[in-house]
Structure formats: C-alpha cells, structure tokens
Amino acid sequence: QSVLTQPPSVSAAPGQKVTISCSGSSSNIGNYYVSWYQQVPGTAPKVLIFANDKRPSVIPDRFSGSKSGTSATLGITGLRTGDEADYYCATWDSSVSGVVFGGGTRLTVL
Amino acid sequence: QLQLQESGPKLVKPSETLSLTCSVSGGSISGNNYYWAWIRQPPGKGLEWIGSFHSSGNTYYNPSLKSRVLISAHTSRAQFSLRLNSVTAADTALYYCARRVVVVVPGTATYWYFDLWGRGTLVTVSS
C-alpha cells in the first residue's frame, strides 16, 4: 500500500488529453514538492516534472504538472502511442523521513 | 555525461545478504547538491525507495527496510554500495541506483528529483 495514491490505469485516444492524479497528505504532498517519472516498459524511470510544475528542457510541453493542497496532477496532451508507459509521482514524507512513491499509473493510448 | 551502472550477484539465497555496487562514470559522488540512492521494483510492481547517501556521511533509509539495510560509499572510486541482510523472496526485484539532485532556492523551500538512473539489475532470491 503506497503512501501516495494514484489510479492504477488511465486510457485515452491518440491526440487526446489525460490527467493522472496523486493524492497524499500534509506529511508529504501538502508540504513538499512533487516530481513525476515516466517508465516505459523495460527501461529505467525518467523524470518528467520536478518541483510540482517544472519540466527538464528535454521534456516537451505536452507534459505538465500542478499541485493543490495534498494532491498533485500530471497532464499529458496530444497523446501519442509512445506515451504508453507507467507514471509515478514522488515526494518527501516527514512521517517516515524518506522518499515516497505513488503506486504508479499505467497509461494506455487506445 | 554522467552514467550509473549497477553490478552484483543476480541470484541470492534466502537468509543471505544481497550486495550491489553502483559505479558512477564521468564524474564523482561528491558534491553538496547530490544524494545517491537505491530504489527497487519487484516484478510487475511499483517503485520503492530503499535509501539515500550523501557525501557528507548522512544516510537515510526506508523505515520498512532500515533494520536490514546499509548504504555506503567509496568516494575515491566513485562507487556506492547496497547491502540488504536476511533476504527473502519478497526482496526479489529490479534494483536501480539513482542520483537525487537537491536544489536550494533562496527564500523558498528546497526541491529535489531523481535526475539520473542506472539501467537496473534484477536480483532473484531463491534457493
């Protein structure tokens, strides 16, 4: 059972938009920055979003992040088949003094 | 370009110790802005942070693993290691080493993220 709650799966058609939620509490998301990672099957995770809403320069602006209260959201627009992957949120949790990940969300582009 | 590479036995017997090394090429593991971490992923499951090491000597562990884990570093060789004692089948996983960059923004909170990852190594616990 992950400290951060994500939907197990989401799906949408190519070209559409999808959002992935990450729900936590005041000991984690409520007081710390969130980062998001994409893991294409068979490969290592890759950072998409850091500090809630910032993108590394190599990440296209189709990917966006936001945070409100104790929840964070990853948005992906203009979906492509290449976006099919598992997506994880992560943050610090003061109650365990450590890094916590969400359980992951599998994105299917239909 | 900094790269991370995990190495170590791929098969460990139950009750024995899992030992892995992460070799950092193209740079060092010193520096105030970086923590060096181990993260694992059981087959078909999500990511689990095991612990992080800083060159200052500070080390943080996942409370659920803390009694069995030791992360240490060999700064001169640009390597850091993981030891996990008394393993069981539940410790079978893909083990990643990763770099966590920490950014201090004056006047605001500090943020971090994992910016570099190794390719991972699958360790199976079985007799």
How far from B36 is each of A30, B29, B92, CA to CA, in Å?
25, 8, 21
Contact assignment for A2 to B46 by CB distance below 8 Å = yes
Interchain CB contact of B113 with A (< 8 Å): yes
Question: CA B84 to CA B91: how far, in whole Å?
Answer: 9
pLDDT band for position B126 (cuts 50, 70, 90): very high
Interchain CB contact of A98 with B (< 8 Å): yes
Give the model's pLDDT for residue B117: 98
Of A17, A72, A29, A56, which Cα lies nearest the Cα of B113? A56
pLDDT band for position B30 (cuts 50, 70, 90): confident
Give the model's pLDDT for residue B1: 86
Interchain CB contact of A35 with B (< 8 Å): yes
Question: CA B85 to CA B90: how far, in whole Å?
Answer: 13
Q: How many C-beta atoms surround the C-beta of residue A36 within 10 A?
A: 29
Which residue among B49, B60, B112 sits closest to A100, beta carbon to beta carbon?
Answer: B49
Least confident stretch, A62-66, A102-106, B23-27, B104-108? B104-108
Asked whether residue B108 carries a pLDDT value surpassing 90, the answer given is no
Interchain CB contact of A75 with B (< 8 Å): no
Task: Quote the minimal CA–CA distance from A73 to chain B in Å.
Answer: 16
Of A104, A94, A87, A99, which Cα lies nearest the Cα of A25? A94
Question: CA B42 to CA B25: how far, in whole Å?
Answer: 26
Interchain CB contact of A58 with B (< 8 Å): no
- Torsion angles phi and psi, residue A14, rounded to 5: -55, 140
Question: CA A72 to CA B120: how far, in whole Å?
Answer: 27
Give the model's pLDDT for residue B31: 84
Q: Give me the mean pLDDT over the B65-94 stretch.
A: 95
Rg value, chain B, Cα = 15
Give the model's pLDDT for residue B57: 87
Which residue among B63, B103, B109 sits closest to A98, beta carbon to beta carbon?
Answer: B63
Per cent of chain A over pLDDT 90 is 97
Give the model's pLDDT for residue A101: 98
Give the model's pLDDT for residue B32: 86
Q: Which amino acid is at A9?
A: S
Contact assignment for A102 to B46 by CB distance below 8 Å = yes
Q: Find, in chain A, the residue whose alpha carbon is nearest to that of B41.
A: A44
Question: CA A31 to CA A33: how far, in whole Å?
Answer: 7
pLDDT band for position A2 (cuts 50, 70, 90): confident
Contact assignment for B119 to A99 by CB distance below 8 Å = no
Contacts of B48 in chain A (CB under 8 A): 101
pLDDT band for position B8 (cuts 50, 70, 90): very high
Q: Which amino acid is at B67?
A: S
Give the model's pLDDT for residue B81: 97
Q: Which amino acid is at B95?
A: Y
Give the model's pLDDT for residue A42: 93
Q: Give me the mean pLDDT over the B70-75 stretch.
A: 92
B21 neighbors B121 (Cβ within 8 angstroms)? no
Q: Give me the mean pLDDT over the B58-66 stretch.
A: 94
Q: Give me the mean pLDDT over the B69-93 stretch.
A: 95
